[in-house]
Structure formats: C-alpha cells, structure tokens
Amino acid sequence: MMETLTAPLEQIGPSFRAAMRRIASTVTIVTASDGARRHGMTMTAVSSLSMDPPSMIVCVNQSTFLHDILMSGREFCVNVLKHDQAELSAAFSGASSPDERFFVGSWLRHAAGLDYLENAQANIFCKKVAAVPYGTHTIFIGMADEVVLHDDARPLMYRNAAYC
C-alpha cells in the first residue's frame, strides 16, 4: 500500500526521517583537528561534490564537538570504512568517549596533524574551503588534496538504523 503524506513542515519531520532511513549509505569516520584538539565521528552524510576541483561535502550537526573543531580547523579526513569495521563505527558513534575513540582501530597521524585510519578502504584528506549553515547542520566543503586507497572491499553500509 502506498502512503502519500502532505502536511505542514512541523508535521512532516517523522515521515521525512523514516524516508531518509530507507536510503542505504556508506559509513565513514570523519576526523579533524584544529591544532589543539582532535575528534572523530561516524558519519553517513558525506558525498562527493565535484571532480574539478576534486571536492566533498560533509554535513555536521551544529551541536557536535566535531562541528566546533571543523569551524576552527582547516582540514579534515574522510575515512571510508570496510564491511567488517562495525565495531569501529560504533565506537565513533558514541559507544566510546571522545578521548577513548582513537584507541579503537589502528590510527596514524598525517603530516597535516589529522588522525586517519590505517586500514580504511580509503582516506580522503581535504582542505576546508567553505562552511554553509543550513537548519541544524553546517555543510562543510573540502577540496581533496590527497587520497590514499587500500584494497577495494565491500563498504560498511547503514540503512534503517542498522548496518547492512
């Protein structure tokens, strides 16, 4: 049975959230540092933006610690997870405290001061070029200046509040 919903904006939120949960997404961990602080957070609101210049967007809730660091920092790294890294994703989703997260998995420090996952499927290092606030989030645009590729593997996917 098809259900069509048209409602005022304040009433569409639950159905919009349900619709978005039906979109499967590759799981990433976005890491950032502003020189004094570092943080990482599991994210699926990540996408390529352009091939010329090579760039990405990450959409971050304005209430998060990562948002604060991205606002003051200049660079970030998108670490693309493999299918067998759900435990790592959970740690960076809040199962571990911000101080303990980087003890889960094998993390290295890039010359730019960013932490990156040694055995991620890919690491995409970006320089922040813009921050566009919209609603509860900020869209950070980063121009890729280095990409590290590892073995191509099945990505860790997330759909309907579960890994799949």
What whole-number distance in Å separates Cα of residue 102 and Cα of residue 99?
Answer: 7
pLDDT score, position 2: 54
Burial class (CB in 10 A: 0-12, 13-18, 19+), 131: middle
pLDDT score, position 103: 95
Domain boundaries, the chain: 25-163
Question: Which numeric CATH code is attached to 25-163?
Answer: 2.30.110.10
Share of the chain residues as helix, strand and coil, in percent rounded to the nearest 5: 20, 45, 35
Q: Please report, in tens digits, the pLDDT of each residue of the chain (164 residues total).
A: 555 555 566 788 889 989 989 999 999 999 999 999 999 999 999 999 999 999 999 999 999 999 999 999 999 999 999 999 999 999 999 989 988 999 999 999 999 899 999 999 999 999 999 999 999 999 999 999 999 999 888 999 999 989 99
